[in-house]
Amino acid sequence: MLRGITVGLGFFGNIHLEGWGRVKGAEIIAAVDKDKERAERTAERYGIKPYTDLIEAIERERPDFVDIATRPDSHLSIADIAASRGCHVLCQKPMAPTWRESSEIVRLCKEHGVRLMINENWRWQPWYREIKGLIESGIIGDVITITIVRHDPDALYETPFPNQPYFVEMERFLLIESVIHPIDVVRFLGGRIEEIFCDMRRVSGVTRGEDNVYVHLNLENDAWGMIYWTRCSEGDLEEPICDYARVEGRKGIIRLDRDGRITVKPLFKPAFKHSYEIPDVGYRGDSCKAALQHFVDSLTSGEKFETEGEEYLNQVMRAIFAGYESARSRRAIKLEEWEEG
Amino acid sequence: MLRGITVGLGFFGNIHLEGWGRVKGAEIIAAVDKDKERAERTAERYGIKPYTDLIEAIERERPDFVDIATRPDSHLSIADIAASRGCHVLCQKPMAPTWRESSEIVRLCKEHGVRLMINENWRWQPWYREIKGLIESGIIGDVITITIVRHDPDALYETPFPNQPYFVEMERFLLIESVIHPIDVVRFLGGRIEEIFCDMRRVSGVTRGEDNVYVHLNLENDAWGMIYWTRCSEGDLEEPICDYARVEGRKGIIRLDRDGRITVKPLFKPAFKHSYEIPDVGYRGDSCKAALQHFVDSLTSGEKFETEGEEYLNQVMRAIFAGYESARSRRAIKLEEWEEG
């Protein structure tokens, strides 16, 4: 049984802890938060030990891994503490607010011989797992275009972003905080990212950073990823449970509606509904728990993480920082040519 | 009653002639085609005179206008013949295969004091007229994003593009031949185009030119137009009658489904269906006939054409040629900075 510590007990830290309670092969033994009252309250709820200091927690508890669920600007220092004490690291996305810090997290984990997985729950959402399986079955042939569209109107609420009100203060917001998810989904479904064009705007007027983003990705094998995300508009007409997505292949298409329905249409043949089960527990189709389970399983088996740190750095974080540069310079940027400017 | 001559009696010339038969205030008196047999056959069908030579037709018939329905590479020479003989010009889109020829058509018409309208039927499709009216009613507030998506699988037919098989030979195909339509719709619904980013691919393998295009437009007032068109994929599941489109405003969205249904969702309020009538005669909601009627009405009243030649040149044709340059150079191009390279 692996033993872990969760750091950061805000909105998402609590989602983690709930998920950990159902993961097999690991247990969380302590929870760390700078806010003592919050640490104690959370620890009591989950029957684990509270700490306000990670170093103390590691030295007393000797965990196998540290689960980082704090805000991005603290990830490097926490990863440093964990890695230098021989703990494997599960780091919430985005890795860090800058390329330098993100790279440093990878370097530190490598130096100390610990493993690093980025906690990216979207690719674990059951609809995307199903779509991946359908693609692998060959029914739509090679992937040509992946479109992911998300409409959230939460910048327009009277109190914007109720779960994460600090979003309004972020200088860089939507691309690095949110669009990072479908970027990882696109590479999950379509392959390596080679080039990014990005456009972004401030639409709502309430955020310091961008709240509306278009991302155009050129993938290996000449496939495209096209992502549009707004926090300032309602897109669909019913209560959505996921994104709208469409995967076009050379022999058909797969469509994901916002109610979670998946439809497959082989070229020139009738469409059919693809039935699958959506767990009704946990967060977004129980995707967080699935990501945690993958971390534990891969640590145990020695297999590569799907979102292994160095690859995630060079694919997803590189796309993010190149994306900001693209929006500024009004040009598409090849990932391999991008350097911190 | 205005009197006109139609030149070019292929797939689209016949659609024109059918529409002209129902236009008020004008009549077509002669049809011109290099192919004598086709000219005679068509003229007989419509009870008008056949010609193989436009100059002869103009000199004998003394028409008020010439309706050009030939392929783009002949537009300049035909416009030259018409304008220099004092005939107003209705010119099928695209204006011409090159910027120089397109500009020359505008210059010639100006020099000879005749009026020039580009025949662009898409903005006359009833769903787009309805959407325009809804936008003008203020129900969704200022426009933020216009998305138009079209899937046609006709490059994948055993005989590709049955109506226009010459598409496979065009060196530049989808952007200038087809995506030009939604580009004009975007400016119709969202305002002036300021910048274009464009990506394009050859997907089917049967066309010389691009058969899959993404266009990203920056419009005045910081609005976006996002257009995706493929001839190598089926998008929707039922028999489509139009494009999929979505107009997001600051106070709501308008959605056009491919069956022609328009849904309006004012922000944080229930969605409702917007009912309207779709003519069941003519081409694509009788949009060709509506464009012809607009030409005649504006010629008669002296009012400006919606798709007046010089403005169309500097907005739509400029976007097309800048779009090819964008796809090549991998950068967004401001229309006012674009020059023939």
Kindly list the residues from chain B whose CB atom is less than 8 angstroms away from the CB atom of residue A199. 197, 216, 218, 224, 332
Residue B234 lies in a domain: yes
Q: Looking at the predicted structure, is the pLDDT value of residue A20 above 80?
A: yes
Q: Looking at residue B179, what is its pLDDT?
A: 98
Q: In CATH, what number is assigned to the domain containing residue A85? A: 3.40.50.720
Q: Is there a single domain that holds both residue A86 and residue A179?
A: no
Q: Does A281 touch chain B (CB under 8 A)?
A: no
Residue B284 lies in a domain: no
Q: Is there a single domain that holds both residue B140 and residue B248?
A: yes
**Using 50, 70 and 90 to split pLDDT, how confident is the model at A340?**
confident
Q: Is there a single domain that holds both residue A163 and residue A269?
A: yes
Q: In CATH, what number is assigned to the domain containing residue A217? A: 3.30.360.10
Number of domains in chain A: 2
Q: Is there a single domain that holds both residue B323 and residue B205?
A: yes
Q: Is there a single domain that holds both residue B164 and residue B206?
A: yes
Q: Does B144 touch chain A (CB under 8 A)?
A: yes
Give the mean model confidence (pLDDT) for residues B270-298: 96
B8-35 burial, b at 16+ Cβ within 10 Å, e below that, comes to bbbebbbbbbbbbeebeebebbbbbbee
pLDDT tens digits, one per residue of B210-251: 999 999 999 999 999 999 999 999 986 667 899 999 999 999
Q: Looking at residue B235, what is its pLDDT?
A: 82
Q: Is there a single domain that holds both residue B154 and residue B262?
A: yes
pLDDT tens digits, one per residue of B197-212: 999 999 999 999 999 9
Q: Is there a single domain that holds both residue B264 and residue B302?
A: no
**Using 50, 70 and 90 to split pLDDT, how confident is the model at B340?**
confident
Task: Tell me whether residues B224 and A214 touch, CB distance under 8 A.
Answer: yes
Q: Does B222 touch chain A (CB under 8 A)?
A: yes
Q: Looking at the predicted structure, is the pLDDT value of residue A237 above 80?
A: no
Q: Is there a single domain that holds both residue A155 and residue A225?
A: yes
- Tally of CB atoms within 10 A around A163: 9
Residue A236 lies in a domain: yes
Q: Which of A327, A326, A325, A306 is nearest to A315 (CA)?
A: A306
Instruction: Provide the shortest C-alpha distance from residue A115 to chain B (in Å).
Output: 37
Residue B285 lies in a domain: no
Residue B282 lies in a domain: no
**Using 50, 70 and 90 to split pLDDT, how confident is the model at A260?**
very high
Q: Is there a single domain that holds both residue A128 and residue A169?
A: yes
Q: Does A244 touch chain B (CB under 8 A)?
A: no
**Using 50, 70 and 90 to split pLDDT, how confident is the model at A235?**
confident
State the best of A204, A234, A246, A257 to mutate against chain B, taking most chain B CBs within 10 Å: A234
Paired tokens of A317: 């974080």
Interface size, chain A vs chain B, as Cβ–Cβ contacts under 8 Å: 105
Cα gap B103→B95, rounded to integer Å: 9
pLDDT tens digits, one per residue of B136-180: 999 999 999 999 999 999 999 999 999 889 999 999 999 999 999
Q: Is there a single domain that holds both residue A177 and residue A59?
A: no
Q: Which of B265, B53, B240 is nearest to B152 (CA)?
A: B240
Cα gap B321→B21, rounded to integer Å: 35
Please list, in sequence order, all residues whose beta carbon lies within 8 angstroms of the beta carbon of residue B113, skipping any fewer than 6 positions away. Answer: B86
State the best of A151, A233, A258, A331 to mutate against chain B, taking most chain B CBs within 10 Å: A233
pLDDT tens digits, one per residue of A187-226: 999 999 999 999 999 999 999 999 999 999 999 999 999 9
Q: Looking at the predicted structure, is the pLDDT value of residue A309 above 80?
A: yes
> Which residue range(s) make up the domain with B194?
126-276+315-334
A107 compared with A238, residue with greater pLDDT: A107
Is the ipTM, as predicted for this complex, more than 0.90?
yes
Task: Tell me whether residues B226 and A214 touch, CB distance under 8 A.
Answer: yes
**Using 50, 70 and 90 to split pLDDT, how confident is the model at A238?**
low
| Whole-number percent of chain B with pLDDT over 90 | 96
Task: Tell me whether residues B214 and A226 touch, CB distance under 8 A.
Answer: yes
Q: Does A240 touch chain B (CB under 8 A)?
A: no
pLDDT tens digits, one per residue of B27-81: 999 999 999 999 999 999 999 999 999 999 999 999 999 999 999 999 999 999 9
State the best of B146, B154, B197 to mutate against chain A, taking most chain A CBs within 10 Å: B197
Residue B198 lies in a domain: yes
Residue A286 lies in a domain: no
Q: What is the dihedral of CA B257, B258, B261, B264, to 10 degrees?
A: 20
Q: Looking at the predicted structure, is the pLDDT value of residue B341 above 80?
A: no
Give the 3-state secondary structure of residue A82. Answer: helix
Q: Is there a single domain that holds both residue A82 and residue A105?
A: yes
Instruction: Provide the shortest C-alpha distance from residue B332 to chain A (in Å).
Output: 5
Residue A264 lies in a domain: yes
pLDDT tens digits, one per residue of A35-74: 999 999 999 999 999 999 999 999 999 999 999 999 999 9
Instruction: Provide the shortest C-alpha distance from residue B248 to chain A (in Å).
Output: 7
Residue of A nearest to B147 (CA): A228
Q: Is there a single domain that holds both residue A107 and residue A128?
A: no
Residue pair A90/A16 in contact (Cβ under 8 Å)? The answer is no
